[in-house]
Structure 1
Amino acid sequence: MEKMKLYGFNNLTKSLSFNIYDVCYAKTAREQKDYIAYIDEQYNSKRLTEVLITLTSMIGAKVLHISSQDYDPQGASVTLLISDHSMIPAPETQVAHLDKSHVTVHTYPEYHPETSLATFRVDIDVATCGEITPLSTLDYLIGSFDSDIITMDYRVRGFTRSIDGKKVFNDGNVTSIQEFISPATLKKYDAVDINVYAANLFHTKMLLKEIDLQNYLFNRDAYEIAPSKRLEIIDNLRREMIEIFNGQNIY
């Protein structure tokens, strides 16, 4: 695509909110301990930082500063201050704040006392200025986590001007977030769009179609569980996912 010739700096701000829910079954004390070990491995600040650094590289930005924190018993937060444009390091260099953006990730553990389901939420927010768009990183983000439910919001704010002085409120031809997700990934999910085109607001939510119980257990063979109990666990998993997907209590 040919780049649009702009008058001065591109003042459009593009924000992506990417949220996943990882649901697991952990009933016994050993399984709950294994669950925490799994969270510490998959969602610790070191790994999350690596994910955000790769994301930053994918959108052509540069990391300026990293802040990270792990929590007890589980969970982490990471914030990256990034530059949308290449910079020449020098002691006297001054960079305006508008030349910077940020990427953040926060995690939220939650446990259901009756069904023994544990839900771990990961929120990633990417804010960029100018021509950079974070939508190209969606396949990478989805593949980086065990994503049972995914919700994504993309918004373009502000305006810039073309060389002839005309206001430009969106410099990209976006009709759906799903356009930036591979068909192979979309095939695994039920996906729904809720878009407000006049406001440059795009929302997509996705629900995993198939549940393989073994993927939701910790150091336990699914066939060690009685058939009726397996069906009960799968039913509880599906109910939990449906309610999270719809954002309301249904059952």
Structure 2
Amino acid sequence: MKLTPEQRVTLHGFNNLTKSLSFNMYDICYTKTRDEREAYIQYIDEQYNAERLTNILKAVSEIIGAHVLNVAKQDYVPQGASVTLLVSEGPVVEVPTESFEESPGPLPDNVVLQLDKSHITVHTYPEYHPDEGISTFRADIDVSTCGEISPLKALNYLIRSFDTDIITIDYRVRGFTRDINGHKLFIDHEISSIQNYIPDDIKNVYDMIDVNIYQENIFHTKCKLKEFDLNNYLFGYTKEKLEAEEIEDIAARVKSEMDEIFYGKNMNHGFIQ
């Protein structure tokens, strides 16, 4: 339950609640040949290398008012990258009256919150199907905070930082804190859906479904692009260079890949393996 300033509970010591946001994005591309696949993987590795990912995570830390204590980053061979930031409480530039109001969070030019004893991580996973010409890129980002604030305030910026076809988002509040009488508090803010933290202009372009377990303070949202334009999934050329039958076949394969990722299961679409 969200508390007004007049209702604010006095805690016994530090707020020990841990709020964890897991943000997984998928980019899908049709790569017909081995050369196209290798070029796509190289492109992804250049676009989302450890240096750029570090800058994205530093922006996240600024949004939630964190001070970066340590940065560990690595570009892997043959592909992929990882970055981990350890962060602590940072200076507060501005504190909103209602820190937990369900609304899209700020972009990096607004530092409005603070946190302590937390971390932010990202791992990337470029890969491709051995037969069907489908290549995918997945980025996993985890933002874990301890204290009063919610990492959901960084969700707006994270979605805008990646060109993504499928998004899966998990948010969970773990542990408990105590008031001065020893009464346990298992959540300190009101939340009905992760979607309330996603801007309308983003929600308008995605189909979304929720799977929430309110009694466990677990929230899950999946997003898939509504509009499909095959040109957005071809690497280095457009569909105008393809025959009608090939356009239909490639579109079916890409849509199948998106559906399988979105629903989390393999589907038999009759493609030749």
Fold shared by both chains (TM-score > 0.5): yes
1:94: which partner in 2? none
Match of 1:158 in 2: 175
- Choose from 121, 127, 130 the match for 1:113: 130
> What is the aligned partner in structure 2 of residue 185 from structure 1?
202
String of CA shifts for 1:22-41, please: whole Å, max 9, x gaps. Answer: 11111224422320232122
User: Partner residue of 1:63?
Assistant: 68
CA displacement 1:57-107 (0-9 Å, x = unmatched): 1111111100000012221000000113449xxxxxxxxxx9421111011
The alpha-carbon deviation at position 209 of structure 1 amounts to: 1.3
Which 4+ stretches in 1 moved above 4 angstroms? none
Per the alignment, residue 240 of structure 1 pairs with: 257
| Residue identity opposite 2:24 in structure 1 | N
Matched, 1:39 2:56: no
C-alpha distance in structure 1 between counterparts of 2:33 and 2:266, whole Å: 26
Residue equivalent to 1:90: none
Aligned-residue identity in percent: 56
1:11, CA displacement in angstroms?
A: 0.8
Aligned to 2:10, which of 6, 9, 15? 6
1:49 aligns with 2:66: no
TM-score, normalised to structure 2, is 0.83
The within-5 A match list for 1:1-251 is: 2-3=4-5, 4-7=8-11, 8-86=13-91, 99-163=116-180, 165-251=182-268
Q: Conserved in 1, the CA contact under 8 Å of 2:44 and 2:126? A: no
| Stretch deviating more after TM superposition (25-34 or 110-119) | 25-34
How far off its partner does 1:108 sit? Answer: 1.2
State the Cα RMSD in Å: 1.8
Please say if residues 85 and 120 of structure 2, whose CA atoms lie closer than 8 Å, have aligned partners that are also in contact: yes
The residue that corresponds to 2:108 in the other structure is none
Q: Distance in 1 between matches of 2:259 and 2:54?
A: 30
1:162 positional shift: 3.3
Q: What amino acid maps onto 1:62 in structure 2?
A: H
Q: Can you give the 5+ residue segments of structure 1 that lack an aligned partner in the other structure?
A: 88-97
| 2:77 partner SS | coil
Q: Aligned partners of 1:155, 1:191: CA distance in 2, in Å? A: 18
- Give, in whole Å, the separation in 2 of the partners of 1:29 and 1:15: 39
C-alpha deviation, 1:225, in angstroms: 1.2
Counterpart of 1:156 in 2: which secondary structure? strand
Report the TM-score when normalising by structure 1: 0.90
8 Å contact 1:36–1:73 — kept in the other structure? no
Letter in 1 for 2:204: K
